[in-house]
Amino acid sequence: MRVLVTGAASALGQEVAAALGADDSAQLRLLDDCAAQRQDVEWIAARLTDPDAVQQAVRDVDAVVHTGEPPASESEEALLDRATRGTHVLLQAAVEAGVKRFVYGSTLEVFRAYPDTVYVTEYYKPLPPTEMTVLARYLGEMTCREFAREHPITVTALRLGELVREEEVAGRERDLMWVDIRDAAQAFCAALARDASASLNWVPRWAVYHIAAPIAHPKFLLDRAKSMGYRPQREFRGADA
């Protein structure tokens, strides 16, 4: 499978690329708006809002992993533009190139307003705050949903928890939003197996999954994600409950 990974210079992009690269059958193409960070795979340095570059990036690929990860420092206007117009440009190019699978990295932060005593499933109504880092990510998710509605492409949104490494938060008070970045990367790999692009009904083409840690007494239930193939390994047992 030939896979394009966006946000490839981010920590998440690197983990996703490493997880996909462990499969000898996967051929990677990486995209980010900075100089190449790896020399062993094809790297395209371009912004998502550049239609010509994005069309080149999606050419001859079977699937797109759009991590949704922005650069470390970006203005709110640029962040919003990347998440909305950039995602639109990427999806439009993917549809025109005949790509059938698209995975987007959204965020569980849209449920931060719910108390930790509530079990939140994918059927709960998101309550995104006005904080741009969260709102932009959610608007990108909505862009993905509309493309799944209108075009024969399978779109999977992964609402990710706060990305950490289990060993780096050992001893800290446990946050129900945590997910180990390596488990998050595995979720992207699992989502690529989903293909409902041939469905005439748009509903199977669109799916949302919550990606968090498999801890006791969680805030986010993972039944749907596990049915998709999510197999998290890090339970944060070294953190203080």
User: Domain limits of the chain?
Assistant: 2-228
Q: Region 179-188: what's the mean pLDDT? A: 98
pLDDT digits (tens, 9 = 90+) for 15-46: 999 999 988 778 999 999 998 888 889 999 99
61 conformational bin, left if phi > 0, alpha if psi -120 to 50, beta if neither: beta
Of 61, 45, 71, 57, whose CA–CA distance to 101 is shortest?
A: 61
Distance (Å, rounded) from C-alpha 86 to C-alpha 169?
33
pTM (predicted TM-score): 0.96
pLDDT digits (tens, 9 = 90+) for 130-174: 999 999 999 999 999 999 999 999 999 999 999 999 999 999 999
Instruction: Name the residue with tokens 């960070």.
Output: 37
Handedness of CA 112, 85, 64, 42 (dihedral sign): negative
2-228: which CATH topology? Rossmann fold (3.40.50)
